[in-house]
Structure 1
Amino acid sequence: MSHESLWLGALRGPVRLLAMVSTGLALAVFAWLVLGQFTSAEPIGMYEMLRPEGRPLVSVMLWSLFAALIFSSLYLSDRRGSIEIAPTGPLDILSLVLSRLSMIGIIAVVLVMFYEVVARYVFEKPTLWANELSLWIASFLFLLAGLYAMQQRSHIRIYIIYDMFPRWLQKLADVISVSLIWVFFLCLFWGGYNEAMQKLGRMETFGTAWDPPLPATLKIGLIIIIGLVALQALSNLIADWNKAPEHHSPADEIDEVEIENIRRTLED
């Protein structure tokens, strides 16, 4: 990873500090809640985490966790991977920030499922929330991965015919592709906006024991993130419009940096 500032500049240090402080606060509150499971007459569990009314400690936990995720994502987005495409505008930066958030989400899903496996098979006390929480997080990961792939131009494309085109015909093919993405988004928006707002307005829940608001959040999240994908596709089209023609080969998919890292690991 390159450690040069990608876009934060002088704000990189303060953002890093805020990420550390908010993460530390979230961990401290979490430790206190865990301790309360053994010492409090009314311990706070995952059921209460979805219902923070009248529970200031839960509110502090949720807000500190939210701040930790945001500031950590901002800080991590200020670095560019060796094979990542550099951002060309504010929308690219937003996509990078959300991609770092999704990467943190992958760790969260792994931890949740690990906890569930240990609780179920070691202590024989399965949770009521682990599967639904992992489903909730993974749903947004799937959507955000599509946005990140669009920003990185990493969606599957067939170049056999495309590379034979002259540049003007390649541009026409790109315009058609982006237009189809926008048609899909507009159809999704037209057909799903009212339902999404209804679900969000009444905070429709999953109807289970833990009862998280999956329908309320995922429906509107789907529309928003697909809208960002469409905007990112348009941004890519504009940014790449005057680029020289590219010709692709299987060698383009080889990550030399990753191969070198694997080689060093094996040598050690």
Structure 2
Amino acid sequence: MQRQDSLWLGPLGPPVKWAMIVSGAAAAAMALWLIAGQVWRADPVGMFEMLRPEGRPEVPLMLGSLAAAMLFAALHLSDRKGAIERPPTGPMDIVALVMSRLAMIGIVCVVAAMIYEVAARYVFEKPTLWANELSLWIAGFVFLLAGLYAMQQRSHIRIYVIYDLLPRPLQKAADVVSVGLIWGFFLCLLWGGYGEAVTKFARMETFGTAWDPPLPATIKPAILIVIGLVALQALSNLIADWNRPPEYHSALDDIDETEIANIRRTLED
């Protein structure tokens, strides 16, 4: 049954939800199987083998089902607008919303890794070699995707002192200049970093630690890709906001009425 508040999936909402559930269950089952293998298998699969799965077909299956679960979860969660979110106005907004949900899932993964590391280190006195690197790896993508989401929501820090004094035509001109600067930055970044990103990815450059994840090989290309998406999102925002009436800002804009209402409701309960 289609949700009434569906943003963009429409009739695809229920199938995506079921795909999320099935792939999540498959990932959980594979994870439990690998964890149980730590006890009864002579050659158990650990985090080191997760990066080097040669001869271990269960690892690609587990990682593939986990990736599918995260993707379908991001699609499902992006189909509903948050209380303080701007509604999407174009295809790029949908992409940004999906990426934002991946970032939210990534934050949960970082917290889980840190909790596991704290328990392993201070309760069982068996610290891991991978928790810190995994957290850095995920946090790098979270940082990039959060920037894309902030651009879609128009929530980057902006100074409106002069902007609000301008007539609407000059405000549009200022917006065009801002978007032009963003595109200029992206093109300079692409020109200066494309070769290095391709080289790092081609040789799958690693981090040089005990666990040795391919952080440089993945983060460097991701920077170029996500900044490109940010530039496209800025252009999409410019087009979507072109015919809007002028907006004037004040300190009251920082007050989140929805959050205040939620706090009041909590206190009343």
Q: TM-score range by the shorter chain?
A: over 0.9
Q: CA deviation at 1:266?
A: 2.1
Q: CA deviation at 1:3?
A: 6.3
Cα distance in 2 for partners of 1:104, 1:139 equals 13
Q: Deviations over 1:44-70 (max 9, x none)?
A: 000000112211110110000010010
Cα distance in 1 for partners of 2:160, 2:90 equals 26
Q: Is the 8 A contact 1:76 1:100 kept in 2?
A: yes
User: 2:87 matched to which residue of 1?
Assistant: 86
1:230 paired with 2:231, answer: yes
Q: CA deviation at 1:173?
A: 0.7
Task: Give the AA of the match of 1:25.
Answer: A
User: 1:170 matched to which residue of 2?
Assistant: 171
User: 2:118 matched to which residue of 1?
Assistant: 117
Q: Is the 8 A contact 1:3 1:79 kept in 2?
A: no
- The gaps in structure 1 that reach 5 residues or longer are none
User: 2:51 matched to which residue of 1?
Assistant: 50
User: 2:181 matched to which residue of 1?
Assistant: 180
Cα distance in 2 for partners of 1:258, 1:208 equals 43
User: 2:195 matched to which residue of 1?
Assistant: 194
Cα distance in 1 for partners of 2:11, 2:75 equals 13
1:116-265 residue pairs with structure 2 within 5 A?
116-265=117-266
Cα distance in 2 for partners of 1:47, 1:163 equals 55
User: 2:19 matched to which residue of 1?
Assistant: 18
3-state DSSP of counterpart to 2:244: coil
Which runs of structure 1 show a deviation greater than 6 angstroms over 4 or more consecutive aligned residues? none
Task: Give the AA of the match of 2:65.
Answer: S
Q: Deviations over 1:115-153 (max 9, x none)?
A: 000000111100000000000000111111000000000
User: 2:66 matched to which residue of 1?
Assistant: 65
CA RMSD of aligned residues (A): 1.0
Q: Is the 8 A contact 1:23 1:64 kept in 2?
A: yes
Cα distance in 1 for partners of 2:51, 2:263 equals 43
3-state DSSP of counterpart to 1:155: coil
**Number of residue pairs matched?**
267
Task: Give the AA of the match of 2:8.
Answer: W
TM-score, L = length of structure 1:
0.98
TM-score, L = length of structure 2:
0.98
User: 1:32 matched to which residue of 2?
Assistant: 33
Q: Deviations over 1:213-255 (max 9, x none)?
A: 0000000000000000001001100110111001111112211
Q: Deviations over 1:156-203 (max 9, x none)?
A: 001111100000110111111111111110110000000000000000
3-state DSSP of counterpart to 1:163: helix
- The gaps in structure 2 that reach 5 residues or longer are none
Cα distance in 1 for partners of 2:53, 2:69 equals 18
Return closer, same or farther for 1:3/1:207 CA change in 2, 3 Å cut-off: farther
Cα distance in 2 for partners of 1:148, 1:15 equals 22
Q: Is the 8 A contact 1:33 1:43 kept in 2?
A: yes
Cα distance in 1 for partners of 2:191, 2:4 equals 43
Q: Is the 8 A contact 1:5 1:78 kept in 2?
A: yes
**What is the aligned-residue identity percentage?**
70
Q: CA deviation at 1:257?
A: 1.2
3-state DSSP of counterpart to 1:159: coil
3-state DSSP of counterpart to 2:247: coil
Task: Give the AA of the match of 2:44.
Answer: P
